[in-house]
Amino acid sequence: MNDNIMNELQQALNVINDQQAGIDLVPEITELSKNNLIFKYEDLGLKVELLQIREERNSDVIAEVVVQVSKQHYPNVRNTIVNRSKLNLLSMQTKTKFVNEMNRILPPIEWKDVVENITEETLHRFRKGNEIVSVGSMPITSAPSYVAFPLVRNDGLNWLFGQGAQGKSYISTFIGMLIQSGLDHAGLTTEQGRVLYLDWEDRKETMNTRVAALRKGNNESLSNIDHIEMSGTPIDKAIPNIQKWITERDYKFIVIDSFGMAIGGDQNLQNVVTPVCDSLNNLKIPILIIDHVSKENGDTPIGSSYKFASARNIWKIDKSQNVGANIIEVGLYHTKANNSKLFAPIGIRMEFVNDMYDQTDRVVISPIDVGDNDVLADALPVTRKIERELEESPKTVDQLVQNTGSNINTVRTTLSRYSNKFERMERNTYRLNPTYYKGGSNA
């Protein structure tokens, strides 16, 4: 009997000691992103993760809270995740409800102190914004670097957009395989790194066939790439997991196929698009986003203009294909670049070779000159069309209008705007400026 009383007293003392330790304990805080914080209490075997932290229009700050314990400290728990709930960090009512629930589940811990600590730290980090920096004497950063030159920059969001059935997924997959392998092909120069393909469009079986066909048609040493079927999961909900995958598996490049399917909302609304783009930028990894065109002849991705504003690099794709042909020729046209020049269009031919069952067996990728394809040449910017004409010989304005298919006002405006490129020899006759082109063919 005395032994039982002593055991009960010892257990009570242990509880008090644990409570006191919990009150004074300072957690180890890991900030995976502005919207994802982890609080670890090692001595208590406790981890509290806040995901999808966001501020509502009424200024409430909401987060998904996941409470996890270690088997070492709590050997009798069936599941190490003991609670998952939504918490309003500014609501005393919801916080009190959460504290009461956690006191029931894990009574040795003083949950009121834990919750207040987590709340204040989260609100501070979520709302602090960026620091004030004196600019003007900072070291000048180098020119932009590329994970796949010149299509994918290392510093942020890269967009590849166009109408459906243009070959965007095949090209993006091939870029991923080149990066994974550290190989160059068809004018693309890559920096080797692990690749993750987040796919809202196709299943793993489709992607497997695509990767195998690209390897067989181009280079047997091309590597596999990691692929996740994302259908049904809005990307804003997936950001915490994406951040974990990047950290745990050391990914260096991500493909999102496609933005419209991933966003899970009206992409014409800035308040839908903006948080997603901000979260993707906060991942601090080069991302290639596949998207659709705003209209049949549009020059921007569909939806909110914030896509264009948030991107570091944007390419538009156009296709040329004869009816029933197994060869697709595409032109990639550079429409936006931050802190760098716009690159000349890139031409790619994709030849689909079928097996005896008329299924795609291999896909051969090769470079082409966009100007050699009449359909793709029509999509060239007027500036480039004029350049191509003047590379042959000097021409009059009327000749440039006729040969480029542009109206006279567009041609005259282009010649005037780019006077550093185009030099007037005599009235209405132009040539390439020999100073700019360093001794071109008709200088």
Q: What pLDDT shows up at residue 177?
A: 98
Whether residue 27 has a cis bond before it, omega within 30° of 0: no
pLDDT digits (tens, 9 = 90+) for 298-313: 667 888 888 888 899 9
Average pLDDT over residues 324-330: 88
CATH number of the domain located at residue range(s) 382-437 in this protein: 1.10.10.10
Domain regions of the chain by residue span: 16-125, 146-311, 382-437
CA dist list (Å): 138 to 81, 135, 142:
46, 6, 12
Q: What pLDDT shows up at residue 13?
A: 40
DSSP SS3 for 371: helix
Percent of the chain with pLDDT over 70: 91
Is the pLDDT confidence value at 4 over 80?
no
Fold classification of 146-311 (topology level): Rossmann fold (3.40.50)
pLDDT digits (tens, 9 = 90+) for 116-166: 999 999 999 888 877 888 988 888 776 789 999 999 999 889 999 998 888
Is the pLDDT confidence value at 211 over 60?
yes
Average pLDDT over residues 214-230: 97
| Maximum C-alpha span of the chain | 115
* Distance between CA atoms of residues 33 and 283, nearest Å: 7
Backbone angles phi, psi at 400, to 5 degrees: -65, -40
* Distance between CA atoms of residues 29 and 239, nearest Å: 19
pLDDT digits (tens, 9 = 90+) for 363-408: 999 999 988 888 888 878 788 889 888 988 999 999 999 988 888 9
Mean pLDDT of the chain: 87
208: left (phi over 0), alpha (psi -120 to 50) or beta: alpha
Of 97-111, 252-266, 293-307, 389-403, give the lowest mean pLDDT range: 293-307
Q: pTM score, two decimals?
A: 0.74
Q: What pLDDT shows up at residue 342?
A: 83
Average pLDDT over residues 51-79: 89
Q: What pLDDT shows up at residue 443?
A: 35
- 136 vs 322: which has the higher pLDDT: 136
pLDDT band at 293 (very low <50, low <70, confident <90, very high): confident
